[in-house]
């Protein structure tokens, strides 16, 4: 069986709400997660919502990492999809740790499964 990519879907509960509302911190940490995975960053886009919340998208040669935060309920949702020979799981674990997440839910999907 050959797969084209790996897709992680994260629902991160009981995170530090101050971190979840810090655009610069989240941008830096998502880029750092991409580096840790061995991905090649092409572009980063980030937006701070008012009164709270942040979205960050890191486009990498191997696909993308994204996060959307909801500080008011101490929650973040993230989507990490990669193709190629990189360590996506290391990026997932790094993000969970940096958000000080106490209750992560992680789903892993193999994408483009070819039999």
Residue positions annotated with a catalytic role: 63, 68, 83
Structure tokens of 80? 């990490």
Nearby residues of 54 by Cβ (< 8 Å), 6 or more positions away: 20, 21, 22, 23, 26, 46, 47, 48, 67, 68, 69
Rounded to 10°, the helix 88-98/23-37 angle is 150
What is the Cα–Cα distance from 79 to 68, expressed in whole angstroms? Answer: 9
Nearby residues of 29 by Cβ (< 8 Å), 6 or more positions away: 94, 95, 98, 99
């Amino acid at each position: 069986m050959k797969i084209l990519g790996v897709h992680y879907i994260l629902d991160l509960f009981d995170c530090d709400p101050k971190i979840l509302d810090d655009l610069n911190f989240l941008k830096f940490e998502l880029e750092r997660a991409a580096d840790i995975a061995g991905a090649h960053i092409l572009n980063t886009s980030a937006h701070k919502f008012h009164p709270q919340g942040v979205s960050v998208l890191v486009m990498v040669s191997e696909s993308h990492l994204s996060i959307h935060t909801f500080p008011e309920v101490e929650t973040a949702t993230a989507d990490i999809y990669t193709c190629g020979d990189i360590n996506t799981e290391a990026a997932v674990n790094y993000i969970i740790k940096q958000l000080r997440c106490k209750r992560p839910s992680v789903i892993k999907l193999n994408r483009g499964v070819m039999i």
